[in-house]
Copies of this chain bind each other. A is one copy, B any other.
Amino acid sequence: MRTGRLEALSDGVLAIIITIMVLELKIPEGHSFADLAHSTGVGLLTYLLSFVYVSIYWNNHHHMFHLVKEVTGGILWANLGLLFALSLLPFTTAWVDESRFARTPVFVYGLNLLAAAVAYFVLQSTAIRLQGPDSPLRRAVGSDLKGKVSTAVLIVGLAAALSPVPVWIALICFAGVAVLWIVPDRRIARAVVVGSDALPAKGEV
């Protein structure tokens, strides 16, 4: 019950972020499939990617707060920091979409994803510090291999967005991190991740 309203506010903000991004989809100017593909193709892809990212954060948030029973001022503000980072996604998504994958908007989009990852890490660390080294949350997080790999891949993507390599390499990095968190991967989950994953794999809940 102590975490009830923090979860309610977070659910509310994430639900709205997910849903207002669809307002950015431009209505096609003509009435044919070609018009749809032309004016909405890019938008639909970027919307899907951002939808998946927000969903992943919601899933992970959901799991983490199964192991957080008490809310302190530090957790409140770390959580609001995460919500702030995610609340910028509709804006950065719309810029990527409008620019049709120009370098700078793609870089800024990746920066936004990185900011959310850092904010999530801060929230997680705050919760662990509160609970002590033997807490279930500490054990569940372990060495946080998946979190570290994700961050590294995001940084590779950011570098790619600014370097002369094709911009879709950056996009593949950003999409790859999302896939990493969606795929359940039960075997790895059982064998390795139990001790090293930031949170239980999706298929293990």
- Which residues of A are at the interface with B, using a C-beta cutoff of 8 A? 5-9, 11-20, 22-23, 25, 27-28, 31-33, 35-36, 40, 48, 51, 55, 58-59, 62, 71-74, 76-77, 80, 83-84, 87-88, 90-91, 94-95, 98-99, 102-105, 108, 182, 184, 201-205
Contact = CB atoms under 8 A, between A and B. Distances in A.
B23 A23 contact: yes
Contacts of A99: 31
Contacts of A48: 84
Contacts of A77: 55, 182, 202
Contact of A20 (B20, B98, B184): B20
The count of identical subunits is 4
A69 to B, nearest CB: 13
Nearest to A36: B108
Given A23-B23, A71-B205, A15 B18 contact: no
Contacts of A104: 31-33, 35-36
A20 B23 contact: yes
Contacts of A202: 73, 76-77
A203 B76 CA distance: 9
Contacts of A62: 5-6, 76
A11 B9 contact: yes
A96 B40 CA distance: 15
Nearest to A107: B33
Contacts of A51: 80, 84, 87
A182 to B, nearest CB: 7
Given A36-B108, A95-B27, A58 B9 contact: yes
